[in-house]
Chain A
């Protein structure tokens, strides 16, 4: 199945390895530790293990045995995907690729000693560390809401039980009830995510509860694929969705999970389901390791994804402040491959190539009605910069929209195979 790598160990590669490898002959093989087995971390683990063919020891630290993809979790809410389809395990990474998967929580990074400490008490040293911890919510971003409130007002912005809870709440809404979303400010994970979600909620309510209403309380003046979503809502869910910006509402002042109220400047709204998606920052381990800036994100060197704070650490995915790439699974996957290549080059002297980045985000608006937006990027000295892009058009014909949806199913299969093997 796989290309036989040994074929490529020609003299050029071999002598390059001798010249530039910092690992002396006889020394044990270099070790890369990866924190977080999501879109960025799992991809990095797989590519490092696969492409170094055993020359690098790869250890992946991830607390969960099952990773639920956030991508397609909105489709699960809409009833287009069973929850079980979102679940992935690390079995193949371990058995086929030789990745050591440690199911534990990284509690601290000692950058001086190059050691990761685990909640379980172990410590693991590294030659290079890869951090792809995703996002956490900014504490106090919305008054009245903290993670203990998530059982009443779910965010469903980390997939799994949160997704199931939100789905169950929507299905249990009283006739003619209100679903309210408190949308996040920029920058946040998956720019079209909240609006794809609204589409899926509208789809469910249209079937089960057609007099119900959907309110989006949004701190932003505009959002990703806005024209396409608005067109879709009008065509498929006319009169159901109200998008209200802060300019109109004065902004969400606080929420009360016990009474299910959202307090605006001049008005209090009571809703049956309140989906709170607070402001975000890099996953807490990145803050702990001192790799974040004032904004709460990790600045990186574009070409290699090395932290600007520590050249032995590469940060991937949502946690980064990279320039132009959006926080998406596709982006994290794309960055992981560039980083894996740079790490292999640094540790084993393998060939280095110019990094290249790309992203596409598909969204489903209604049955067989998919849209997409995407771009290609290059690394400049200062940021990952957009080169070129495209977006679906308004008024596309049904055949194209259906094909775009089917393509998104293909992408999901391809993407998860690329992450987990």
Chain B
């Protein structure tokens, strides 16, 4: 026990001001919030995979790696690309699963309130091997990105500009929508398209080609692409 103290102090010191320490109360609240997840996810002693994987030891796990769990093709792809569950990626994922994995099987609209997510994660982190090594609560990252990840500026994209820009996509992604080796990007709802590109741009999604391409797309260009690809199917 003793050995943990410096690490904890360090962690708290690092986060000081930014976040308050999860209290027993927060954790209890997180447990209640987890009720919304229970239909698909089990956690705790002898937890089993349900519709979704069990969540014991989810922190620092590579995505889509629980034996016997059923994952979408998109989640497996994300895992192979290097998606790892950390306090930050979990926070971003729970906020809206499509932030990180467009084709996820996780049919959940997302937990929009930061306090809810942080309590939920405070609850979940108890089921990790060494909870003390996990930062208490997150995501300066998401807090800082939240507005740009979700503000709805994508509705009036210039589709003709998008068509020109799409040339950079169709060197790999097929305009027919074929989905082999490289995902289909045609006919997506605009919000999904926009948040996916924003997540690559911010580096939340791991794929290096997509990060590179998205990094230099402006909000206007992302909106233009979303408007163009929505119509293509």
Contact digits for A144-187, partner B, Cβ 8 Å, 1 yes 0 no: 00000000000000000000000000000000000000000000
Q: How many Cβ-Cβ contacts under 8 Å join chain A to chain B? A: 105
Considering only residues 149-188 of chain B, those with a C-beta below 8 Å from chain A are 159-161, 163-165, 167-168, 170-176, 178, 180-182
Total chain B interface residues with beta-carbon distance under 8 A: 35
CA distance A378 to B165 in the complex (A): 14
Contact (Cβ within 8 A) A413 B174: yes
- Contact residues of B between 47 and 73, Cβ < 8 Å to A: none
B66 to chain A, nearest CB (A): 14
**A374→B171 CA distance, assembly (Å):** 13
From B171, B213, B228, give the contact of A330 (CB < 8 A).
Answer: B171
Which residue on B lies nearest to A353, using beta carbons?
Answer: B164
Answer whether residue B81 sits at the interface, using C-beta atoms and an 8 A cutoff.
Answer: yes
- With contacts A330-B171, A337-B167 taken as known, whether A400 is within 8 angstroms of B182 at the C-beta atoms is no
Asked if B232 is at the interface of the complex by the 8 Å CB criterion, the answer is yes
Q: Is A417's beta carbon under 8 Å from chain B?
A: yes
- Does B36 belong to the interface (CB within 8 Å)? no
Partner of B80, one of A390, A402, A413, A417: A402
Tell me if A346 counts as interface (CB < 8 A to partner B): no
A418 and B79 within 8 A (CB): no
The reply to whether the CB of A220 lies closer than 8 angstroms to some CB of chain B is no
A3 near B159 with CB under 8 A, answer: yes
The A-contacting residues of B in range 203-233, CB under 8 angstroms, are 208-209, 211-213, 215-216, 228, 231-233
B182 touches A407 (CB 8 A): yes
In B119-168, which residues have CB < 8 Å from any A CB?
Answer: 159-161, 163-165, 167-168
Closest B residue to A389 using CB positions: B212
Per-position 1/0 for A403-421, Cβ under 8 A of B? 1001111110111011000
Distance A78 CA – B232 CA, assembled complex (angstroms): 37
Count residues on chain A whose CB falls below 8 Å from chain B CBs: 40
- Given known pairs A341-B164, A356-B168, A358-B212, the reply for A3 and B176 (CB within 8 Å) is no
**Interface residue B189 (Cβ < 8 Å from any Cβ of A):** no
Q: Which of A70-100 contact B (CB under 8 A)?
A: none
Q: Which B residues are CB-close (under 8 A) to A411?
A: 171-172, 181-182
A409 surroundings in chain B (CB, below 8 A): 180-181
Q: Kindly list chain A residues whose C-beta atoms are within 8 Å of the C-beta of B181.
A: 406-411, 413
Counting CB contacts under 8 A, is A295 at the interface?
no
A375 beta carbon closer than 8 Å to chain B: yes
**With known contacts A3-B163, A403-B80, A376–B171 Cβ distance under 8 A:** no
Q: Kindly state the separation between the CA atoms of A387 and B211 in the bound complex, as whole angstroms.
A: 13
Cα(A413)–Cα(B181), bound, Å: 9
Known A-B contacts A3-B232, A411-B181; A374 and B212 likewise in contact (beta carbons under 8 Å):
yes
Question: A358-B168, A388-B215 are known contacts. Are A374 and B209 too (CB-CB below 8 A)?
Answer: yes
Q: Which residues of B contact A353 (CB under 8 A)?
A: 161, 164-165
The interface residues of chain A lying within 8 Å CB-to-CB of B82 are 400
The distance in angstroms between the C-alpha atoms of A269 and B79, with both chains bound, is: 48
Task: Name which of B208, B211, B233 has the most chain A CB atoms within 10 A of its CB.
Answer: B208
Kindly state whether residue B117 has any CB partner on chain A within 8 Å.
Answer: no
| Bound-complex Cα distance A248 to B152 (A) | 61
Q: Which residue of B lies closest to A400 (CB)?
A: B80
Q: Which residues of B contact A51 (CB under 8 A)?
A: 163
Whether a CB of chain B sits under 8 angstroms from the CB of A292 is no
Which residues of A sit under 8 angstroms from B167, Cβ to Cβ?
A: 47, 334, 337, 341
Give the shortest distance, in Å, between B162 (CB) and chain A (any CB): 9
* In the bound complex, CA of A157 to CA of B181 (Å): 26
- Once A388-B216, A411-B172, A417-B174 are accepted as A-B contacts, the answer to whether A8 and B80 lie under 8 Å apart by CB is no
Asked if A415 meets B159 with Cβ closer than 8 Å, knowing A372-B209, A390-B212, A403-B77, the reply is no
Please tell me if the beta carbons of B171 and A333 are within 8 angstroms of each other in the complex: yes
**In the bound complex, how far is the Cα of B186 from the Cα of A1, in angstroms?**
10
CB pair A417 B176 closer than 8 Å:
yes
- Is the Cβ of B172 less than 8 Å from the Cβ of A334? no
Whether A399 is near chain B, meaning CB under 8 Å from some CB there, is: yes
Contact of A399 among B80, B161, B216 (CB under 8 A): B80
List B contacts of A417 (CB < 8 A). 170, 174-176, 178
Chain A residues closer than 8 Å to B77, beta-carbon distance: 403
9 contacts between A and B (CB under 8 A): A1-B233, A2-B232, A3-B163, A3-B228, A387-B216, A403-B81, A406-B181, A414-B174, A418-B175
Could you list 15 further interchain pairs (A-B, Cβ under 8 angstroms) beyond the known A51-B163, A372-B208, A414-B182?
A8-B159, A334-B167, A337-B168, A341-B167, A351-B161, A374-B212, A376-B212, A376-B213, A387-B216, A399-B80, A406-B181, A409-B180, A413-B174, A413-B180, A417-B178
Which residues of B are in contact with A by a Cβ distance under 8 Å? Answer: 77, 79-82, 159-161, 163-165, 167-168, 170-176, 178, 180-182, 208-209, 211-213, 215-216, 228, 231-233
User: Which 5 residue pairs spanning A and B have beta carbons closest together?
Assistant: A410-B181, A410-B182, A337-B167, A390-B208, A403-B80
